[in-house]
Amino acid sequence: MTNKRFLLLLLLMLCLCLYSPLMAQDNLNIISKQTGNTIELRWAPCNLGAWRHGNEFGYKLERITIFRDGKQLIPVETVVLAHSMRLKPLSDWERREDEKYFAIAGECIFGEKDAVLSTSPVGIYKNYQQEQNRFGFSLYCADMNKEVAEYMGLYYADQTAKKNEKYSYRITFAMPDSLYCDTARTFGYLADMVVNTQPEKPDVFFDKKGVDVMWKNNYGNTFIGYYVERSFDNKNFERLNEEPIAVTKSSRKNNYYTDTTAIATQSVYYRIVGVDSFSDESVPSASSSILNTKPISQYAEITTANPLTEGVELNWKFDAENEPGQVDGFKIYRAHSAETISNCIATVTDVNQRRFVDRHPLPDNYYYISVFNSSEEKYNPYPYYCLTIDSIPPDPPAAPTGFCDSLGRVWLSWQNPDTLDVIGFRLLRKNSEGESFLMLAPNMLTDTYYVDTVNLNTLSRHIYYSLKSVDARGNQSELSPTLKVERYDIVAPQPSMITNIEQNKNGVAISWNASVSKDVASYALLRCTSSAEVFDTLTIMPGGNNLTYLDKTAEPGCEYYYKVLTLDAFGNHSASKLKAIEIPGQKESDWQLKNTKTLNSITLKWSNKDASKPVDKVLIYRKTDDKPLHYYTMVKDADQFEDKNLVMGKHYAYRIRVVYTDATETQLSNEVKTEM
């Protein structure tokens, strides 16, 4: 590259001196964009040091699959898309030095630095400033041309993405000691429909130099530049600027372009085309038109603003007889401060009217007035200040809404009754209906939400909140309606007790008494066999006095254990003591169990001549003396078991349950007993 390429840099110097590329809190930033079946990725260093690291070491790009088919992947799947995205060599850049953005970016990266002594403070600053310019210009060229970004190692197109997956992309420097601040991430997936972001419709108005086109940059970093297009028939548009108008620090909210070549006495249409960091152009904005007539030459001026009982009376002056442009009327604006023209409160279409009464003024009023016609609006930039005396309290808010969570946090929110008058709120709380409200927050709240913390270990079930509105003069409203919030209950109710359990001809009848707690929501009756490890729920009954249940599913030859859970509305529960009952008789089992006894062991054998399914395992249950039958052990691929874990003088009883390979299982077998 030759130093002649700096001539191109000088052409861009004025418009790019304030240019700000992709910004982030750390050293790198990355964004993604869907185009068809491809996810495009663009990243950039965010400061000079990061730019040096990227040029020297390159970048490592990883794709992390987070969702697949709508389900979150745990753990996630990580794929390295590129181990080292590096600058292409100088020889590749030189082949394209006749292309403007390649020439500028190449000169910034590979060009020779000015020989300035670094020992001098001025020299150090000049060297630093020169490299800052190289950094900014190179990133601008990458934004303007996708291929330049690829040559700089700042672009990648992921063509292997799938529509049923969602990804997180991670970019780091391709060096082993990258830090957390050297990492940037973005989210990407292939949507069914690609949404094209459209710039806002521009505003157009006349100036002494021509037609001013102004538009808002409301999409943050979506667009890094704009083209302005003009038409005289709203069909055939021509592009007015050869290079995109860059988004600078001073134009993050609004962008401007002045058209000095519009033909007089014609309707002119303007629209905007955005350019993103992938150098792709957006769909054009809606067009705005203006009749190219003689502009308004003078301002209207407010002369007095007098507070009255019915509001504020405004008077202004405007010399309509000596105005060469067309005037259709006046617009009156009111603001909270002198820095903004915020709220148009009136449009006066009588060009001879010079008086207006603002019937809803603020405590502090800054009034602006403008003159307008069909093609422009001319503002007087100097506001007129008027202070009103306010002794009327504002309206109280409506009752707040809120709830208490399991951590004792009360989430409160409410509506502002008058956004123009009310500037804050006082929040009050009490623990019972008979108490007086006390101020909760020491300072006035300016938001319309608050998170309070309350004690859950208390017998007081509710807490009460109310609000007061406060205006700019300190006037406070009446109390709002009261919000009654139920505390989250973490205390289990007192358990009930099974009072009777007996067998009759229809089944097993169970009765229990009511809990003494007042917050009981329901009772759950649970049952398990003496050999089971998990209780089954027989019924759930609401709280009441008729607390009985008939268990019709109890089988002969089984021993059952029953208990009652007492539950409240928050899921807290307590359990009664177990009650057992043994149903007389014996249920026949397909599997027959036999036992033989030796001096030190008991051998169990089982058989089933009619077994038609393969056996997976056999569960063995044992009962010692008067203790309940319980699960003892499991055997596989055997038809007998020898129990040596015995104590002399004890009585032992055994039963088995067979589990087949299809996960079905039999009833308990017959019981065999032995005394050691």
At 152-190, the pLDDT tens digits run 999 999 999 999 999 999 999 988 776 666 789 999 998
Share of the chain above pLDDT 70, in %: 90
Q: How far is CA 519 from the centre of its chain?
A: 37
Query: What is residue 316's predicted lDDT score, i.e. its pLDDT?
Result: 95
Q: Which of 125-129, 298-302, 334-338 has the lowest mean pLDDT?
A: 125-129
CATH class of residue range 498-582? mainly beta
The structure tokens 């403007």 sit at: 100
Contact yes or no for 656/618 (Cβ under 8 A): yes
Look at residues 309, 382, 369 and name the one whose alpha carbon lies nearest to residue 334.
Answer: 369
**Structural domain boundaries in the chain:** 3-189, 203-291, 301-387, 401-486, 498-582, 592-675
Look at residues 418, 493, 508, 437 and name the one whose alpha carbon lies nearest to residue 461.
Answer: 493
CATH class of residue range 301-387? mainly beta
Residue 192: phi, psi to the nearest 5?
Answer: -65, -30
Query: What is residue 9's predicted lDDT score, i.e. its pLDDT?
Result: 44
Torsion over CA of 183, 186, 190 and 194, rounded to 10 degrees? -140
Query: What is residue 23's predicted lDDT score, i.e. its pLDDT?
Result: 39
Query: What is residue 418's predicted lDDT score, i.e. its pLDDT?
Result: 84
Query: What is residue 620's predicted lDDT score, i.e. its pLDDT?
Result: 92
**How far apart, in whole angstroms, are the C-alpha atoms of residue 363 and residue 567?**
56
Q: What is the mean pLDDT of residues 249-271?
A: 77
Look at residues 557, 547, 483 and name the one whose alpha carbon lies nearest to residue 514.
Answer: 547
User: What separation in angstroms does the CA of 85 have from each of 278, 283, 514?
Assistant: 17, 31, 73
Q: Is 512 exposed, middle or buried (0-12, 13-18, 19+ CB in 10 A)?
A: buried
What rounded mean pLDDT belongs to the chain? 85
Query: What is residue 265's predicted lDDT score, i.e. its pLDDT?
Result: 54
Beta pairing partners, 672: 654
pTM above threshold 0.85: no
Query: What is residue 10's predicted lDDT score, i.e. its pLDDT?
Result: 40
Give the CATH H-level superfamily of domain 592-675: Immunoglobulins (2.60.40.10)
Q: Is the peptide bond before 75 cis (omega within 30 degrees of 0)?
A: yes
> What's the pLDDT band for 196 if we cut at 50, 70, 90?
confident
| Domains 401-486 and 592-675 fall in the same CATH topology | yes
What is the chain's alpha carbon radius of gyration, rounded to the nearest angstrom?
Answer: 41
* HEC sequence for 226-249: EEEEEECCCCCCEECCCCCEECEH
CATH class of residue range 401-486? mainly beta
Contact yes or no for 528/575 (Cβ under 8 A): no
For the domain bounded by 203-291, which CATH number is listed?
A: 2.60.40.10
Query: What is residue 19's predicted lDDT score, i.e. its pLDDT?
Result: 42
Q: How far is CA 526 from the centre of its chain?
A: 42
Task: Report the CATH architecture of 3-189.
Answer: Sandwich (2.60)
Q: Which of 15-24, 26-35, 618-627 has the lowest mean pLDDT?
A: 15-24
**How far apart, in whole angstroms, are the C-alpha atoms of residue 170 and residue 156?**
12
Query: What is residue 318's predicted lDDT score, i.e. its pLDDT?
Result: 94
